């Protein structure tokens, strides 16, 4: 039995327990993601290179005819209470954010759903995407919720607008001014491929990532991060300030020459933030070219440069992530390693020979001061319907 099937079965058992022994009529999933390279570039109109993961959020449920919504989550680490009840949104009575935090991702998607009206429903949420791990548990929940609503009342099926509606939910209900990458890859993920996403045009290039001799190792530092703090919005504000000083619409339009020419007009901090973003956008397209050629050594080099830039210029790494990267890079057969996600904890992603994966895990276990969790990841499909 696969992990996704086990997750579905556990959600169905919880549904029967919570809702009077009934069977759910709808079952959907949406994946988390790991970003191979291109960090903090999405909200600057740049390029990112993520892949969808076999780690997913599953939602099972059924409609009800009284306009009432009742949702239970079994996700490990979700704040309490684990059950919420509220009325479906009506004309003049929109939903509003509140406690618990996890419910805001769901409420935001319901409020911004592009068809409707959304009827009442019962639902159970189950997830094996680690919360706060930098693998986009929030986008996975948002996209799963939208996919569930599509089964209740069809929208027009526009996948780009689906991702944008989920992003809007995170902005307005969770208070995180995220870029489009996480929602986009959760909707659009393609099995056996990473996606190079142009976050300005939303054009997508699929890059094969199915070489059996190549593995993607995700290591969770198990240091929890919260992006609703001041750090994420502050980094975004600093990038916008740098773009204004450079007289550019966004840092996507700036070159390193532009940045150096205006260095004296920027604060030291804004200069460093811009230096990361401008160099990271170039690194990401160069890394995509390397992946297309099958040049894994070059790709790994770009990963390490990305981590160093996130550590020194963007200042979103932490000692645990730096330690995990350093240990991984000691292992023969490792091409590259870097922090992934928003930062301040969470996970690293390591590209390595498949034959080196077990050796890397053992070395990290032996040397890392914390207690790591590992996932060997294959590029997976985006959101969809499951057979109940």
Q: What SS3 state is found at 204?
A: strand
CB 97 within 8 A of CB 148: no
DSSP letters spanning 33-97: EEEEE-TT-GGGT-EEEEEEEEEEEEEEEEEESSSEEEEEE--TTPPSPSEEEEEPPBTTB----
Q: What SS3 state is found at 228?
A: coil
Q: What SS3 state is found at 179?
A: coil
Which residue among the candidates 156, 182, 253, 286 is catalytic per the annotation?
182
CA atoms within 13 A on the CB side of 326: 11
What distance in Å separates the CA atoms of residue 266 and residue 66, rounded to the nearest whole number?
A: 57
- Close Cβ partners of 106 (under 8 Å, ≥ 6 residues apart): 71, 84, 125, 141, 142, 145
Residues shown for the chain: 388
Q: 182 an active-site residue?
A: yes
**Strand pairing report for 347-353 and 204-208:** unpaired
* Strand (E) or helix (H) holding 218: strand 214-220
Q: Where are the alpha helices (DSSP H) in the chain?
A: 3-18, 101-112, 137-152, 159-169, 181-188, 231-245, 256-261, 268-293, 296-312, 319-329, 357-367
Positions annotated as catalytic residues are: 182
């Amino acid at each position: 039995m696969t992990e996704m099937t086990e997750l579905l079965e556990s959600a169905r058992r919880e549904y029967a327990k919570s809702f009077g022994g009934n069977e759910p009529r709808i079952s959907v999933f949406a994946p988390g993601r790991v970003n191979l390279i291109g960090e903090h570039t999405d909200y600057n109109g740049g390029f990112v290179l993520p892949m969808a993961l076999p780690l997913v959020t599953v939602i099972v449920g059924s409609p009800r005819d009284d306009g009432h919504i009742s949702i239970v989550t079994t996700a490990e680490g979700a704040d309490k209470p684990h059950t919420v009840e509220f009325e479906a949104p009506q004309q003049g009575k929109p939903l509003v954010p509140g406690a618990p935090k996890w419910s805001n991702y769901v409420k935001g998607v319901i409020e911004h759903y592009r068809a409707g009206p959304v009827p009442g429903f019962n639902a159970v949420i189950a997830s094996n995407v680690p919360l706060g791990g930098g693998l986009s548990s929030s986008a996975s929940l948002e996209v799963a919720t939208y996919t569930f609503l599509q089964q209740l009342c069809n929208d027009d099926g526009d996948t780009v607008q689906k991702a944008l509606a989920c992003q809007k939910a995170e902005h307005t209900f969770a208070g995180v001014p995220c870029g489009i990458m996480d929602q986009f890859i959760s909707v659009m993920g393609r099995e056996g491929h990473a996606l190079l996403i142009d976050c300005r045009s939303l054009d997508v290039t699929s890059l094969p990532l199915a070489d059996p001799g190549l593995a993607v190792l995700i290591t969770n530092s198990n240091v929890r991060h919260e992006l609703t703090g001041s750090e994420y919005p502050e980094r975004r504000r600093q990038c916008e300030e740098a773009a204004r000083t450079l007289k550019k619409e966004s840092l996507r339009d700036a070159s390193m020459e532009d940045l150096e020419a205006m260095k004296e007009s920027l604060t030291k901090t804004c200069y460093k933030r811009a230096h990361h973003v401008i160099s990271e956008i170039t690194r990401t397209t160069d890394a995509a070219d390397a992946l297309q050629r099958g040049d894994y050594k070059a790709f790994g080099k770009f990963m390490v440069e990305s981590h160093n830039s996130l550590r020194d210029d963007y200042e979103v790494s932490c000692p645990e992530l730096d330690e995990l990267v350093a240990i991984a890079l000691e292992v023969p057969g490792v091409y590259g390693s870097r922090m992934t996600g928003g930062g301040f904890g969470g996970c690293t992603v390591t590209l390595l020979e498949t034959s080196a994966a077990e050796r890397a895990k053992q070395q990290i276990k032996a040397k890392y001061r914390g207690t790591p969790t590992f996932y060997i990841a294959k590029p997976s499909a985006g959101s969809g319907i499951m057979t109940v």
